[in-house]
Structure 1
Amino acid sequence: MNHRTLSFAGLMLLLALLIGCENTVEPERATLRLNLASERFRTSRSLLPTPQDMTITTVRITGTGPKGQTVDVQSEDQVVEIGNLAIGTWILHAVGFNSKGTALVSGDVTTLLSSVTNEATLELTQLVGEGVMSVQLSWDPDQVASDVRLEAQLFHQSGSPVALEVGALNKADGTVSLTKTLPAGSYYLKLQLFSQEVLVSGASQSLRILDGVTSDGSIELIIGDLSTAYTIMVVNNTMLPIEGSIVSTPLQAKAGDEVTLTYTPSNLPEGIGINDLQIDWYCEGILVQASQAAYTSIPLAGVHRYDVIVNHDRLGSLGSSTILLDMPRSLTQRQGRTRQEAASVGVFVH
C-alpha cells in the first residue's frame, strides 16, 4: 500500500465503477474502483491549525446498495477497489481526515453501478463539524482613557455576519478575550478600539475553524504615536492559503507625501491570478478601498496599521496581510512642539 498524503483544495474522489463479473459466476456483482484525488489545505500561523492538521491523509468511504448491501472502506491510497458489489444504485458518502483523525471535509453521491454506467464523481465540498475561536487582544492602557471600548465584528467567508459578543475589558491591563464556538469554515475578524469615542486602533484578521480544534492566537492593537523617524515594518499576517506581502512607495516618505501601498500574493496555485482575487484594504479596522491590489493616500503623522483581506471563491482561501506605516512630522510640527515643550519649563526659544 502506498502511503501517500492527499493534497487538498478541491478534493475530488473519482469513482471508476469497473464491471468485473462473469456471466457464469455472480452475474449481479461488480467491482467498485475508487480513484482518489485532492489538494491540500495550506496555512501559516496562529489563528489557524498547523499545516499538518490541515492536510488530508486518509479518506473513509461508506455506502449502501441493493439488497441491503453496505460498504465501509478507509484508505491512504489513491486507488481503492471494492469487489463483489451488487449491480444497482449505490449511495456513497466520503469523509477526509488529517493524520490526527480529525474530520475535515465530506461529500455524497448517488450512482448506478452497471455494465453501462461505470464512472461517477464525488466532490468533497462540505466542511465538517465545529471548533472554537479564541483570540487574546491587548493594547497599551496608558494610551487610552477610562472609557475605552472595543467593537468586534466576525464575518463568514461568504461575507455574512456572525454574532459575536465582546466580554468585559480588563482596562487596567489593556486586555480582553474573544471566544466563540463556530461551524468549521473560514472567517475574518474586524476589530476597532475607541477612546473618548475616537478610533485609536484597529485590526482585521482571518482565521480557520476545524472540527474539535481550538484556533487561538493573540493580536496587539497598536496605538500610533507621532515620531520624527520614519520606519516601515512589514508583518506577514497570512493565516490561510493565500499568502502575500505589502510594500510602500516611496520607501523614504516625508510628511505630506503621497504613499502607495501595493499587495502582492506569493502562493497562488496554477490558473489563478491576482485579478481573480477580492482584495480589500482596511486602515485601523475601517474599510478604505475594495477590490484593488494597491491603495494610495496621504497619511497623517504617526503610526498607522493597514490590513489587506484577500479572498477567492475556493474553499479555505481567505487570508490577510498587514503593514505598519510610521509617518514623520513636518518641520513646522516639530518646531511647534519644541516651542511648547520649552514654554512649559519657562524657556523661550527663538
Structure 2
Amino acid sequence: MHVKVIHKPVLVSVISCSMLWAVAAPASAEDIISGAKGTKHPNQTIAAQASIKYHSSGNGGGHSGPLASTDSNWTPPACWYAPEWSATEFQQFRQGVYVSAVHDPDLPNDVRGEISDQNQKYAGDNYNIDKEKEGMWWGPQFNDDASLADQMKCDKDPFWVKKGETPGVPEAIKPETLAGLAYQQMQVPGTKVSLAPAGASKVNLPTWAWLDKADFKPISVTASLDVGGFHAEATTTATADSLSLDPGTDDAQVLPESGRCAINGDGSIGEPYARGKGNQTPPCGVVYQRSSGDGTFDLRSTATWKISWTGTGGAGGDLPDGEYGDDQPVTVQEIQAVNR
C-alpha cells in the first residue's frame, strides 16, 4: 500500500477570479499574501486544508507509466470546489491578503481596490464567525495539468457552506471528481514482451510474444478528502483487458489477426514459447515478411486497461479505458539456405 498526499496549489480566488490572474497566473494564496516584495504577514500560513490523499495498491514498481484515456474527449477534473477554511481561518486569511495588498507598492491600484472591496464584503458578515461550528468556507482548487481555460471554469469567490450540505455548483467536489483524480495518479507496469525463439526473428516464421501473469494484476488508487467534518472518497481500479501489437512495419502480420492479444484466465498474455512449438501458431505474436536489414523494427506493445470506480454513498461507474505501451527493437533476418 502506497500513500501519497498531494498539496495542490491553493489558487484560491482571494479576489475576484479575473483579478487573481491579473496579480499572477497562476499564484498560490501564500504567494499573494507574501506580496511581490516578499513582505510576510504572521497569518500567511493560514492556507487551504483541502489536501486530497492518494492511496495506491498494486501500482507497478520498476518500469511503469501513466494511463492515457482512449477517449480524447475525457480529461481528469480541471478544477473543483472544496472546503478550505473554518470561519476564523478564513478571517485570518482574508486579513492577511488585505495587509499584504496595503503594503505592496508594486500592486496595481485597481487590484488593491478590489481586494479592499472584497475584504469589506466578507467583513460585513464578520466572516461567519458566529457560525464557526456550523460550516466552512469553500474555495476553488485546480489541477496543475489542466489548461488555464479549463481551470477558470471554477471562477467563484469563496462561499460559505453549512455542514452536511452540498453546494449547488456543478464543480463541487464529489466522489466522481475524486475518481477522475485517482485515474490520473495511476501508474501501470511496462509492456515489454518476451519474444521467442531466442535471438533475431526470422522472415516468414512466427515470433512468439507473451507477458507473465504477475505483470497484470489489477491496480487501484483511492482518492479521499477529510476536512472539517466533510468526507468523500473514491477508489478507481484498472484491470488489464488486452495487449495490442504494432510490428513497426507494414510488412508484417500480427497474431491474432485483430492484433489484440486477450488476457488469459490467470492474468497472463499469450503463451511462452517452448521447444517443439516451432510449427505451431502462437496465440500472440508477429510474422515479419521482410528483413530489418542493418537496423531494427520498433515493436510496440500497448496494454488496454478497463477502468471502474466506487465511491462514498454507493456511487460508482466506469471511466474510459486507459492505455500504456512500450517500444522494443526487433532484429529480423532472412533465412539463408545453401544449395549443394
Instruction: Give the structure-2-normalised TM-score.
Output: 0.29
Q: Which has the higher strand share?
A: 1
Instruction: Give the structure-1-normalised TM-score.
Output: 0.28
Higher relative contact order (CA 8 A, sep 6+): 2
